[in-house]
Structure 1
């Protein structure tokens, strides 16, 4: 199974406009981590999770299949970035106290990745996988957002997007002491900021590639009278699962 890369072509937008994650998420993950020596952030993208882990671990390994993403990633002395598939890595056996995957497990060969996790994790290490679903706007804007998501660009989503919509319920997680949690990331953005976030969506990029036009521009014109010239509050629903790796 070849890895799927939907983000190298707009790595600059991804680095600028994707959301980061709340401290509550990291506190939830860290609650069962046995030690804070080494962590692996898989599919690190622009390195936002790796950067947060660097404040908590002596050494962080961060991998991605996109070299362009890694070039733009935030640099820290205790973060080592390298290009690698999730399912086959250069790491030694029993290396990591924590392994994280933010908004990416749905792109993997999940059984093969979990096998690799068992190889490189220390006994009792924690694996945490999380994602975030469709953004919630105001009551007036939500129906327009849902129409854009389902109808305008709906046909351009990869099938893997369905795993986000059902919060990974169909992806196996065969680990011990499994814990789950949900969080809300609230942001206050201008319309321009929000539209640029939409332009990081893989379905939007595919629409642009196939139709040679930007569907976000038209959508922005539709919602501008409701949005107004100021800022709006956006809420991103984050879901997470964590478990212990026994072997």
Structure 2
């Protein structure tokens, strides 16, 4: 698994969007027992935090020590640095396993072998993510151009799975039909540009060119964002869920 986020872990913790309550309202009743959950590729721990309100123990792993250093702390969340494909958990230990905006970085076969080993029979795997944000026609045009033309060649090949809405990711479990969910946000210009700066392709561009490409489009965006005022937008949630 590639570590594209350690260098901007504080930004990631500040600007990455959170999943809607309705998503958890759908998933959690599907889990009969709520003893142990594993949030794999936890990042800033935003999903682990929600799970900690429902599960006795939440084990949250990430390959980035810096991400975990900035993660949300709770007494029943146990963070560790670990690869998704090499978990050090007991067999049939988890009632639920979650992966949020990270599955596309994994070695699918190796990770799924770990899921099948560590997930209890009848346990739930939920893979979630989000694609390109939508705000309005004018802003979307600028961001789409930025996404494809300015930083397009800096995306890792794994990004295609996000562009394909996770539909092309293998999923060897008893999959269930999931409703559509959206992440609704109200952002200022600073919050929008902060989020864009967390993109892995932006980080690759910065490393290659010693400049932040977000600054290229900031003047255009500033013309569409009233000073200090928030503008509404949304992400479409990508969701695959199924039982062992």
TM-score (norm 1): 0.96
- Please, what is the CA RMSD of the aligned residues? 0.9
Q: Secondary structure at the match of 1:19?
A: coil
After TM superposition, give the deviation of residue 206 of structure 1 in Å.
0.5
Which residue of the other structure, out of 30, 35, 41, is the alignment partner of 1:32?
Answer: 30
- Superposition pairs of residues 3-42 of structure 1, within 5 angstroms: 3-42=1-40
After TM superposition, give the deviation of residue 177 of structure 1 in Å.
4.1
Partner of 1:137: 135
Q: Secondary structure at the match of 2:177?
A: strand
Report which stretch shifted further, 227-236 or 197-206. 227-236
Which residue of the other structure, out of 100, 104, 107, is the alignment partner of 1:106?
Answer: 104
- Superposition pairs of residues 1-247 of structure 1, within 5 angstroms: 3-229=1-227, 230-245=229-244
Count of paired positions? 243
After TM superposition, give the deviation of residue 209 of structure 1 in Å.
0.6
CA distance in 2, matches of 1:177, 1:106: 18
After TM superposition, give the deviation of residue 179 of structure 1 in Å.
2.6
Q: Secondary structure at the match of 1:186?
A: strand
CA distance in 2, matches of 1:12, 1:231: 22
Does the aligned pair in 2 maintain the 1:190–1:232 contact within 8 Å?
Answer: yes
* Post-superposition CA distance 1:176-232 (Å, at most 9, x none): 142333211111111011101100000001001101111111211122112221221
CA distance in 1, matches of 2:179, 2:64: 29
Does the aligned pair in 2 maintain the 1:10–1:200 contact within 8 Å?
Answer: yes
TM-score (norm 2): 0.97
CA distance in 1, matches of 2:211, 2:194: 15
CA distance in 1, matches of 2:112, 2:175: 16
CA distance in 1, matches of 2:83, 2:175: 27
CA distance in 2, matches of 1:179, 1:243: 9
* Post-superposition CA distance 1:155-184 (Å, at most 9, x none): 100011110011111111011142333211
Structure 1 runs of 4+ off > 2 angstroms? Answer: 177-182
